[in-house]
Amino acid sequence: MARCTGTRTPRVEDARLLTGTGTYVDDVVRPGMLHACFVRSPVAWARIAGIDVSEALQLEGVQAVFVAEDLNPGVREQWYTLNGRDDPDTSRPPLAEGEVRFFGDPVAMVVAQDRYTAEDAAELVVVDYDELPPVVDHAAALESPESVHATHPGNLVGELAGRPMEELAPVFEDVPHAVAVTVHQQSYGPVSLETCGIVAEWSAPAGEMTIWAATQSPQKVRSFCARLLGVDEHRVRDTGGGFGQKVLTQRDDMCVMLAATKLPAVLKWIEDRQEHLMAAGRARHEHGEARLALHDEGRILAATLDHVQGAGASPTPSPVQSGLAVGLLFPGPYRIPQGTFRSRFVFSNTSGRVAYRRPWQFESSASRRRPPRSPRYSSSRYSYAAADATTGDQASPPSSPRPNPSHPVLRKRGRSCPDE
């Protein structure tokens, strides 16, 4: 480690990626390989009254059509290393069972000799849905009479919190200035250049699985597959590359792994762009209410943050642990004599929360010392609100990305314009 610190480390993968000789998952071709296509829910929430796959099975070139009762019982263990075996986790069946809980929820998987035939057959699968009123607003989900998962009344996945906010109430009552600001962060979709994909090759005589996957954590995929199938980890070989949303095994990947053990050939699934936008997952759909107690000179005397994040219907993995980052990062570089936070994660009938690039955007932006260019970031919103409360002056108009460098509160704290 000492010899690497402070020295330039050449990248070893650039040449093949920049010259077009890199291998992506869809480039993998194996003898006799079969192709998968998912039948996905066209509604946000419904009971599955019945599934008829008979017509799809009659199409020439179709090898199999799997539904929940075919694949889900094959799951031995399903947990992520990040959370651990004993961490309470959310329901994540490979195929929807009993209900669909978001638009794009996988209901069945068609396997055929090529992707074109698989897509044609998927359109022949008939699913009878009894629609239910969906819960689509994470901000209102905690008060909704409907529960996305019956096991979680009130739609609360879980929460992490510091000291009770009520304990700081006297502080806010006795300060010269108190301000509250709620900042909303819109949902993000990864939209990666290479969509999700996996190739699974099962060797029954050896009891071994070989996987090609678009993932940044091949070791975690290998461990997850071993637990899923109930085989020793050294019997799973894995290779991959990717980031963010593709870091962990998702439900589509589970289906391919499980189905590969039931088929006489290698199985490939490559997500198309429509599937990606529908079901690959979202991130950062959240909001936070910050309350600041301020001295006349602008010093922060106390601060609280009530943070709520939408987890969708099937978050990967359980998002609760990330609430710790909210409490750690919210104070930032400021001296805050008294402070606390609460971070809640909420189910809704939307695609599940997944990882995304630049972790902890909402939390870290809330703690930045220098306001960024865009006024939508929580840090600038909170600091501007504090400045307004202590001077009666507007630090920066909402439409302007630049703070006012002559504003007394910003000047006292030694801040400068982004362009300086």
State the number of CA atoms in the 13 A half-sphere of 277 facing the CB.
2
The model's pLDDT over 165-213, given as tens digits with 9 standing for 90+, comes to: 999 999 999 899 999 988 888 888 888 888 899 999 999 999 999 999 8
Cα separation of 95 and 69, whole Å?
9
Which residues on neighbouring strands pair with residue 290, listed in sequence order?
181, 305
Would the pTM of this model clear 0.85, i.e. be above it?
no
Give me the residues of the chain with pLDDT under 50, please.
Answer: 367-379, 395-420
With a CB cutoff of 8 Å and minimum separation 6, the contacts of 352 are 102, 281, 282, 311, 312, 313, 314, 315, 316
SS3 percent helix, strand, coil of the chain, rounded to 5, is 25, 25, 45
Helices vs strands, H then E, count in the chain? 13, 15
Residue 189: the pLDDT is 85
Residue 246: the pLDDT is 82
Residue 191: the pLDDT is 86
